[in-house]
Structure 1
């Protein structure tokens, strides 16, 4: 119907190779007229690869990951590939099952969160002969490509910032750090830096479960009931810190005069508070974009495991 060869029609449908605009338009008009839908399964059988990119995230409720997915989605929209997304709820066994399921569909590449996986997950990815990007963390050796920032150094930088502000009686409120290994790494960096400065982190409260605004609010109340002398509290992330702000407001507590509050992630909700939250942030959308650019759109040679550090910044805010 379009008056072109099968190869040309195939290139248009797969968005591959140089195609003149008028030729593309003829093929797409024929597609619309016939209601044709490309058989992706047949294509993957012929090429031993699909146009799918597996994306595995730890959470769909944590406000960090929609930004990461926005970067992945925008970059993939320019590439002709489609994402297939799975959510682990921070469970390594669930991640392993998702990796096994997605690899069965012969994806072109995989994007996972973090560098810690089960032995079987790592084995499957190492033998899959596809590009693999591990995002959000660079504190260990990647399978192929790691894109993110050092959470250990982020914790240290947070400590240095607060010490420079004159704080010495520092407290911590966190969620389930056995599941959220990046939050645990930030805490380790914080503890190490404070210990080296002679201000050990002795005032802590862990709430258990996933992070949330409510857990941050109740967690700060519990911490202050046990350690009322805190002059600043670091939270495992901004969700928790926003809850801390709400606790302080409910108690009529002067922030930062009576108590400083410091988060991590730089979420919009924290910056929209009457007093913008003091926090730490990285460009999460750019992390997602780089992952796609490097493992899907970059035709350059593979040179072994590599790390891309996007860095982070301290947001001074007005709460600490």
Structure 2
């Protein structure tokens, strides 16, 4: 049964050694169905993103900065879902979600780093589209191999120091009372709510990191698209405008889905207890969006579809 209140047993200061992930235990009759659905989604995510990585490696027409970042994005999505979904599948099988503090800290650390990395890679992809549309003649010079690698490395490593500090501060705190997390993985907001005594310092640190990671990429992406839209509207040809918009549509769709659901969940959950709707939104941006990404980038991208057609044709010949 779920605990009531933030710390229902504040009087009991016995330090906790593990958490219990409630997950979807409130719907016991659907455990097997949920296991099957999440397993299918997980396999689809692995296959879809692996296919994108493979296509960008074997097809020379996709070996451009735009698809270099898409390959990084697909690699990230595989890592991203692998931090949460396998554990969720195991918990659905064994009908309980006990997780040690160490395992919780590791899962949270990896998840937070990968969330931030996704924000940064989406920002790098927006910058790539900005240069391609606003400075097409200088695009090969600006987006050279060296800059692309530097941007990718920065995207993958920038979040590590921030969350190393946050995880150290969070898990050096004492947890007591209720040890149940109304979630399907160790996310930061519900764990922060279980800290004994004054959690103001940890909450403010989480607010600052979340605001920083959400605001700077959002501002840069919006600024890029303001410039992009302005440049596209100046194009004399309707065909040229349609083609330019189509190269940005997939990226903009993913940005809207990911940032929209993520920001709502984090800022809402840090102001109160996690509800069923919040858990669904978390499910949306941790599992469902990664499932949609291969579909969005394949079906709405002619270059990828052409490369996929050539790959399948070659495979059939072999």
TM-score bracket, normalised by the shorter chain, equals: under 0.3
Higher strand share: 1
TM-score scaled by structure 1? 0.26
Query: Which of structures 1 and 2 has the bigger CA Rg?
Result: 1
TM-score scaled by structure 2? 0.26
The answer to which structure, 1 or 2, has the higher relative contact order (CA under 8 A, 6+ apart) is 2
Higher helix share: 2
